[in-house]
């Protein structure tokens, strides 16, 4: 269960206690504050706090005394300019703090993003819940034959059933032993910090994760990308929806220049110039490797 009824009651209570503030408020983000968005079978992501809005980015860029706003159109133009020219520090003036519940193997990928502040649930101090990520049938895929770092078609029939059974049984058995080892009934009971090593990587953990908008965009560009593993991509997608409401102009620029854009090499640009001039260009004449050419064609739609 992503959020228990007791936890939901706490969230509802927080959302009822409003207070006036002089700080910048993003109406789009206020509607998300504290609410958990379900991700995977037991996970969630929710906004605990945030600082700044689109105006704050412009305010920092102009180093202004007041609100820093000229007009919405002007601000949007400035934000697009900043994004286009990699003038990233104004985006660092906005911050977000998230509470995330996620499987440990997803957390291992996530924690590689070093430019955030993290505090994780302590499995030395607390007992982990019996909650494991078990993929849906359609997400139980075979190894990709074209990409060593990816998956292909969904498993079917007896194989799919067997895999699902192993995942459930192994997790259940490991957790039974974990519980048995930490129990102090009729025995000393193994320390939690040791007993946890028996648990599989699909068990859920939780953390608070705080990051500025510039580094969040970097995270989202890598993890909301179709090459990212599905299990982390669904978290990135959920965060994208929040950021879209929080800083619509900044997110719009990010979506256009980063998610929708592409980085082209000098060779690739030269090919485009030739194509525009009506010249025929092939992989052999492009100076690119086969893999590069395939990716280039994917970008230009050839």
Q: Does 115 bind ligand FAD (CB under 6 A)?
A: yes
CA–CA gap between residue 2 and residue 226 (Å, rounded): 25
Please choose, out of 12-20, 110-118, 133-141, 163-171, the segment that lies near ligand FAD by the rule CB under 6 A: 110-118
Q: Does 215 bind ligand FAD (CB under 6 A)?
A: yes
- The nearest distance, CB 116 to ligand FAD, in angstroms, is 7
- The nearest distance, CB 225 to ligand FAD, in angstroms, is 7
CA–CA gap between residue 274 and residue 247 (Å, rounded): 39
Q: How many residues bind ligand FAD (CB under 6 A)?
A: 9
Q: Which is nearer to ligand FAD, 97 or 113 (by Cβ)?
A: 113
Please choose, out of 73-81, 155-163, 221-229, 245-253, the segment that lies near ligand FAD by the rule CB under 6 A: 221-229
- The nearest distance, CB 211 to ligand FAD, in angstroms, is 8
Q: Does 112 bind ligand FAD (CB under 6 A)?
A: yes
Q: Which is nearer to ligand FAD, 114 or 290 (by Cβ)?
A: 114
Six-digit token string for 250: 């900044």
Residues 6+ apart with CB under 8 A from 191: 124, 182
Per annotation, catalytic residue among 23, 108, 136, 223? 223
Backbone angles phi, psi at 110, to 5 degrees: -65, -40
Please choose, out of 98-106, 107-115, 157-165, 253-261, the segment that lies near ligand FAD by the rule CB under 6 A: 107-115
User: How many other C-beta atoms are found inside a 10 Å radius of the C-beta of residue 62?
Assistant: 15
Q: Does 151 bind ligand FAD (CB under 6 A)?
A: no
**H helices present in the chain, as ranges:** 5-16, 27-30, 54-62, 72-84, 104-110, 157-182, 192-195, 213-223, 230-246, 248-254, 266-276, 283-286, 290-300
Q: Does 85 bind ligand FAD (CB under 6 A)?
A: no
124 is in an annotated binding site: yes
Q: Does 226 bind ligand FAD (CB under 6 A)?
A: no
Q: Which is nearer to ligand FAD, 58 or 220 (by Cβ)?
A: 220
Q: Report helix, strand or coil for 23.
A: coil
- Work out the angle at residue 127's Cα, subtended by the Cα atoms of residues 121 and 131, and round it to the nearest 5 degrees: 80
- The nearest distance, CB 112 to ligand FAD, in angstroms, is 4
Q: Which is nearer to ligand FAD, 35 or 113 (by Cβ)?
A: 113
Burial (CB < 10 A; 0-12, 13-18, 19+), residue 143, is exposed
CA–CA gap between residue 237 and residue 186 (Å, rounded): 48
* 8 Å CB contact between 300 and 272: yes
CA–CA gap between residue 156 and residue 142 (Å, rounded): 9
| Residue numbers at the binding site for ligand FAD (CB under 6 A) | 112-115, 215, 218, 222, 227-228
Annotated binding site for FAD: 89, 112-114, 120, 212-214, 218
């Amino acid at each position: 269960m992503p959020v228990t009824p007791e936890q939901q009651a706490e969230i509802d209570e927080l959302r009822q206690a409003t207070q006036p503030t002089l700080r910048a408020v993003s109406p789009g983000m206020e509607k998300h504050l504290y609410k958990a968005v379900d991700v995977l079978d037991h996970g969630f992501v929710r906004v605990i706090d945030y600082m700044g809005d689109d105006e704050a980015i412009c305010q920092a860029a102009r180093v202004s005394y007041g609100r820093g706003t000229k007009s919405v159109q002007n601000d949007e133009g400035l934000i697009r300019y900043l994004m286009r020219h990699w003038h990233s520090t104004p985006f660092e003036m906005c911050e977000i703090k998230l509470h995330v519940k996620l499987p440990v193997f997803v957390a291992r990928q996530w924690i590689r993003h070093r430019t955030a502040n993290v505090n994780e649930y302590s499995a030395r101090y607390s007992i982990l819940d019996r909650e494991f990520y078990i993929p849906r049938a359609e997400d139980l895929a075979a190894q990709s034959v074209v990409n060593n770092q990816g998956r292909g078609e969904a498993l079917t029939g007896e194989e799919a059933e067997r895999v699902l059974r192993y995942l459930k049984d192994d997790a259940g058995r490991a957790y039974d032993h974990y519980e048995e080892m930490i129990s102090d009934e009729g025995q000393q009971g193994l320390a939690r910090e040791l007993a946890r090593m028996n648990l599989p990587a699909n068990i859920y953990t939780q953390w608070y994760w705080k990051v500025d908008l510039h580094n969040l965009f970097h995270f989202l560009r890598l993890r909301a990308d179709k090459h990212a593993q599905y299990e982390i991509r669904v978290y990135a997608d959920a965060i994208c929806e929040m950021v879209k409401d929080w800083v619509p102009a900044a997110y719009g620029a990010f979506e256009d220049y980063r998610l929708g854009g592409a980085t082209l090499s000098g060779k690739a640009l030269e090919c485009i110039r030739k194509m525009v001039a009506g010249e025929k260009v092939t992989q052999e004449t492009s100076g690119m490797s086969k893999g590069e050419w395939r990716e280039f064609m994917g970008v230009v739609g050839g």
